[in-house]
Amino acid sequence: MSTEAEARNAPHRPAERRNRVRRRALRARVLLSGGTILMLAGCVIAGPEPGAVAERSREHASPLELAQLALDSYFDAADGASAGTDWKWAVYFLGLESVREATGRAEYADRILAWGKRNGWDPSVPDTPTSNPDNRAAIQVWLQADRAGLPVELEAAADLMAEDATAPASTYWWIDSLFMGLPLWPMWAERSGDSGAGRRSAEFYDFLKEDAVTKWRPECTPGGLFDETENLWWRDCRYVGERDELGNKVFWSRGNGWVLAAMARMVEELPAPGPERAEYAAMLQRMAARLVTLQGEDGLWRSSLLSPSLFPEPETSGTALMLYAIASGVRGGVLDEAVYRPALERGWEGLASAIDDSGFVSHCQAVGEAPGPSSTTESTPFCVGAVALAAAEYHALKARL
């Protein structure tokens, strides 16, 4: 991923759209109160259903209610109706589809279908390497929607997956790629009936864990990105052994969140028992056990996992990915509920506090590749999508308990 190119296109929350966001927030608050929507003089006004209780405050909203508030607010603020299929928006729509499945909200199905049609159901982006997993993440959304019965179109995706079937393992050379691309292979194998597709994920994973040197980074020493002593992952081979000004290893919160979430998704996708699934489950267990020791007292993780004081403000995108993965692990029986439930409850309380009354998600780190500051004035589609993923999974776990 090119951080320079991504930064030029980083979404923001434009001031000129705030009135529209407030109108959307009023509409979304209907979800919190069970109210109806009345149109009056061109404005959207929330009115209670007959006999309904007074509108509940945001602080008492459920995870799914807060997720919808955040998704709707961002969609308007960042003009989601014209969103492309890059990885940033793919994560947003992955979260939206998960919330749609949990709520049955028809408007979300309309958004996903409009997004796909507008972009020709083709996630590939010109001027980037063929088989770049950043350009495939959208296919995960469409496969998930296809499973749920939405009329998605997968012809372009089939062509791309056929191309990627012979891509070198070094195509996946940074840890974010595990989330963007790894779950695609078992999902595509199920959809296409091609068992060979399912085996590709192990090749990409093994390369990142054990080697990770590519033609793009020939200066690196082979050895892999997983640190066995810390149970955490370096972002890419350039960071292996890197230490910060405090003398601690540089482990990036969101990067490790991408890996943990990828492990959770792989455990969900692969049948049990099986050696590949066992590897992902074991990695989920090892990382989760380490990460909960690094959770802040407020339930949120900081951008630099081992040196939180360097960037002391919370970071919501990494936090949301970790909560999603841990909740999924608990729900799937891979992680012990008694051990992880307190961390999940603290984490969700902290994450909910980062969503304001309009649905704006604060303290998201911008596009990057290393620890850095989070923002209280700008957000990103992948941050909102990660929050929605966490909310949907946490809701599903609470419903089961």
Query: 2-11, 257-266, 297-306: which has the minimum mean pLDDT?
Result: 2-11
The long-range contacts involving 233-242, CB below 8 angstroms and separated by at least 24 positions, are 233/175, 233/259, 233/287, 234/175, 235/174, 235/175, 235/176, 235/369, 235/370, 236/173, 236/174, 236/175, 236/212, 236/369, 237/173, 237/212, 237/213, 239/370, 240/212
- Per-residue pLDDT, averaged over 41-58, amounts to 30
252-269 pLDDT tens trace? 999 999 999 999 999 999
pLDDT digits (tens, 9 = 90+) for 317-340: 999 999 999 999 999 999 999 999
* Confidence (pTM): 0.87
Residue type, 70: A
Q: State the DSSP string of 330-394.
A: HHTTSS-HHHHHHHHHHHHHHHHHTB-TT-PBP-EE-S-SS---EESS---HHHHHHHHHHHHHH
pLDDT per position as a tens digit, 146-161? 999 999 999 999 999 9
Q: How many CB atoms lie within 10 A of CB 241?
A: 12
Give residue 57's pLDDT: 53
Q: Label residue 187 by pLDDT band (50, 70, 90).
A: very high
Distance CA 227, CA 165 (A): 29
Average pLDDT over residues 164-171: 94
> In this predicted structure, what is the pLDDT of residue 129?
80
pLDDT of residue 222: 85
Tell me the mean pLDDT in the region 79-104.
98
Tens digit of each residue's pLDDT (9 = 90 or more) over 218-237: 888 889 999 999 999 999 99
pLDDT-above-70 percentage for the chain: 85
Contacts 24+ apart (CB under 8 A), 153-156: 153/116, 153/117, 153/121, 154/121, 154/191, 155/121, 156/120, 156/121, 156/122, 156/123, 156/124
Rounded to the nearest integer, the mean pLDDT of the chain is 87
